[in-house]
Amino acid sequence: MDTSKDADIGLYGVDAEPGALDLIANPESSYRFTVAQPTAQMAAQSAVNVAKYLAGQTSEVPKTSYVDPVFVTKDNVEQVRNELGI
């Protein structure tokens, strides 16, 4: 069976689970991209919001807080694993 055309089909996902990262790290895999959540940044922002709330600064506590996601590709998968501990 000729699989040479299979390389043209890319797989993409979300949540950067370890199995997906393994596939992205494999140069022969067609899994190319996922998104990781920066949980340490999310926790830090939550702590800031809680501190403001407990300090009585309730008007300064946002209803929603955003942090930038981490895009994981074949080029940075090992770096992301090290930085995020996944």
Question: Residue 77 and residue 86: Cα distance in Å, rounded?
Answer: 10
Query: pLDDT digit string (tens) for 7-29?
Result: 577 888 878 889 999 999 999 99
Question: Residue 79 and residue 17: Cα distance in Å, rounded?
Answer: 15
Q: What is the dihedral of CA 18, 45, 71, 11, to 10 degrees?
A: 50
Q: Tokens 């080029």 identify what position?
A: 75
Q: What is the pTM of this model?
A: 0.73
Q: Name the burial class of residue 48, with classes exposed (0-12), middle (13-18) and buried (19+) by CB atoms within 10 angstroms of its CB.
A: middle
For strands 31-36 and 70-73, give the pairing. antiparallel
Query: With bands split at pLDDT 50, 70 and 90, how would you rate the model's confidence at 48?
Result: very high
Above 70 in pLDDT, residue 5? no
